[in-house]
């Protein structure tokens, strides 16, 4: 069997160990004679998977007791409206920090709802090559929304802003489970699973329980956080297979040392590629400023854009796919999420070096 190094931004590479385990029990889960997809979500057979997944998330991220963990659907994109719908009360105002394409999408949905929002900072004027470092926060804002890793631009916070006690809401879709979270001041974290946590179809939401008090009566039942919290995320049929895959992915993460283990590996992986960019004498140019470079999505352009299609074609011949950058940044994007083995990054770094030699 040939596995490929998949540098796609999402859906993205999954740990081989998790895929193999799923394959081995696909038609007969736990000797039940059924696949996990065919099991009622109201039976212990599924409930054990569900509760174990919640427990793994709590354990790996050290989630304190005052937070609930919810497993929802609708992708991170649905959190763009669920967050303001549930957490901005009446005429109150919420702050947004705009650091790239995904935070722009997040604020847009709050505005569609007619909510009052303030852009506390933006790095648009430098084409989102960094996260903002000075902020104009509203006193008594409902929350401050940030995007911890901008998947398209490849910029990532190394430290979250000090919001003076205002709860921070984090879209961590593309870097959850890659760093420890300091829970002080965190109101809510959300993430679509399809990068670091598993396949698409389930969205992880971690919410501080006191925030339910803000809900108003006109929010549809399915769109209230409290509905899912009260029912242990079993109010309606959950995406059982996606949750099962998150379970296997997190067991793999735990087996390699959890967050401290993966953090070290990810830093090494990112360094391999950024070093080639930095030592290329301008052949490659990183999109993000060094201080905000993402350890998840390495974005770079080629000095000669005419070489881009050649780069893609030759990388594919060397067993690497998904390197084409997003059209809004251009160039290349190497997504090197948790499940990307260090061998994939070594192969890419060597390829990039050889590509200079052959084309400079
Ligand atoms: N936020 C970020 C940072 C993302 O990278 C993505 C998806 N690439 C989303 C939100 C949207 O997620 P979904 O496709 O699950 O709605």
* CA–centroid distance, residue 221 to ligand 1 (Å): 23
Q: Which of 68, 95, 115, 195 is catalytic?
A: 195
pLDDT at 2: 85
Residue the block writes with tokens 């409290």: 226
Which whole number is the average pLDDT over 326-346?
97
Cβ–Cβ under 8 Å, residues 335 and 9: yes
Closest Cα to atom 5 of ligand 1: 151
Collapsing DSSP to helix, strand or coil, 340 comes out as: coil
Q: What is the pLDDT of residue 180?
A: 97
Q: For ligand 1, is residue 77 a contact (CB within 6 Å)?
A: yes
CB neighbours (10 Å) of residue 313?
9
When pLDDT is averaged across residues 149-160 and rounded to a whole number, the result is: 98
Which class does domain 16-255 fall in? alpha beta
Looking at residue 338, its pLDDT comes to 98
CA of 173 to the centre of ligand 1 (A): 6
Rounded percentage of the chain residues whose pLDDT exceeds 90: 99
Tokens of 70: 């919810």
Ligand 1 within 6 A of 198 CB?
A: no
Question: Would you place residue 184 in the very low, low, confident or very high pLDDT band (cuts 50, 70, 90)?
Answer: very high
pLDDT at 90: 87
CB 243 within 8 A of CB 229: no
Q: In this structure, how many other beta carbons lie within 10 angstroms of the beta carbon of residue 193?
A: 27
Q: Which residues pair with 190 in a beta bridge?
A: 171, 205
- Residue whose CA lies nearest to ligand 1 atom number 2: 173
Q: Answer whether residue 1 shows pLDDT above 80.
A: no
| pLDDT of 360 over the 90 cut | no
What token pair was written down for 198? 């598993």
Pocket test for ligand 1, best of 75, 153, 335 (most atoms within 8 A of CB): 75
Q: 139, 87, 138, 137: which is closest to 113 by C-alpha?
A: 87
CA 109 to CA 82: how far, in whole Å?
Answer: 9
Q: Give the pLDDT mean for 303-317.
A: 97
Report the predicted TM-score, pTM, of the whole model to 2 decimal places.
Answer: 0.98
Strand 168-171, strand 5-6: pairing: unpaired
Structure tokens belonging to residue 237: 């049929």
| Span from the CA of 71 to the centroid of ligand 1 (angstroms) | 16
The number of the ligand 1 atom at minimal distance from the alpha carbon of 150 is 3
How many Cβ atoms from other residues are within 10 Å of residue 61's Cβ?
A: 23
Residue 301, ligand 1, Cβ within 6 A: no
First to last CA, the chain: 36
The pLDDT of residue 252 is above 90: yes
Give the pLDDT score at 95: 98
Nearest residue (by CA) to ligand 1, atom 4, is 173
Tell me if the domain spanning 258-359 has CATH number 1.10.220.10.
Answer: no
Task: Name the residue of 11, 12, 77 to mutate for ligand 1: max ligand atoms within 8 A of Cβ.
Answer: 77
Closest CA to 134 of 124, 152, 121, 146: 121
Q: Does residue 317 have a pLDDT over 90? A: yes
pLDDT tens readout for residues 15-58: 999 999 999 999 999 999 999 999 999 999 999 999 999 999 99
Residue 173 scores a pLDDT above 90: yes
Q: Would you say residue 188 has pLDDT above 90?
A: yes
Which among 68, 95, 102, 269 is annotated as catalytic? Answer: 102
Instruction: Tell me if residue 102 is catalytic.
Output: yes
Q: Which residue is associated with the tokens 């060094």?
A: 290
Check if 171 is active-site.
Answer: yes
Segments making up each domain of the chain, as ranges = 16-255, 258-359
């Amino acid at each position: 069997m040939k596995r490929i190094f998949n540098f796609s931004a999402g859906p993205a590479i999954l740990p081989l160990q998790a895929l193999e385990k799923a394959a081995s029990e696909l038609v007969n889960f736990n000797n039940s004679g059924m696949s996990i997809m065919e099991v009622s979500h109201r039976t212990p057979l599924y409930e054990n998977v569900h509760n174990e997944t919640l427990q793994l998330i709590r354990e790996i991220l050290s989630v304190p007791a005052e937070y609930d963990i919810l497993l929802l659907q609708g992708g991170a994109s649905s959190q763009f409206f669920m967050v303001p719908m549930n957490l901005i009360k009446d005429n109150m105002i919420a702050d947004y920090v705009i650091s790239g394409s995904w935070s722009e999408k997040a604020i847009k949905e709050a505005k569609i709802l007619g909510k009052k929002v303030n852009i506390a900072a933006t790095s648009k004027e430098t084409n989102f090559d960094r996260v903002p470092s000075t902020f104009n926060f509203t006193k008594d804002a409902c929350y401050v929304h940030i995007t911890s890793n901008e998947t398209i631009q490849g910029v990532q916070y190394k430290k979250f802003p000090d919001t003076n006690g205002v709860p921070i809401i984090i879209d961590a879709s593309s870097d959850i489970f890659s760093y420890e979270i300091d829970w002080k001041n965190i109101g809510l974290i959300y993430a679509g699973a399809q990068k670091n946590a598993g396949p698409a179809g389930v969205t992880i939401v971690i919410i501080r329980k006191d925030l339910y008090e803000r809900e108003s009566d006109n929010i549809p039942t399915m769109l209230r956080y409290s509905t899912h919290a009260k029912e242990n995320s079993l109010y309606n049929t959950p995406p059982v297979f996606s949750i099962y895959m998150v379970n296997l992915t997190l067991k793999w993460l735990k087996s390699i040392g959890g967050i401290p283990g993966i953090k070290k590996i990810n830093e090494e992986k990112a360094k391999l590629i950024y070093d080639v960019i930095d030592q290329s004498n301008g052949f490659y140019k990183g999109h993000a400023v060094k201080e905000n470079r993402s350890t998840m999505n390495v974005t770079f352009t080629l000095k000669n854009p005419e070489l881009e299609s050649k780069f893609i074609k030759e990388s594919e011949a060397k067993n690497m796919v998904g390197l084409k950058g997003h059209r809004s940044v251009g160039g290349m994007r190497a997504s090197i999420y948790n499940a990307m083995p260090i061998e994939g990054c070594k192969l890419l770094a060597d390829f990039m070096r050889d590509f200079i030699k052959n084309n400079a």
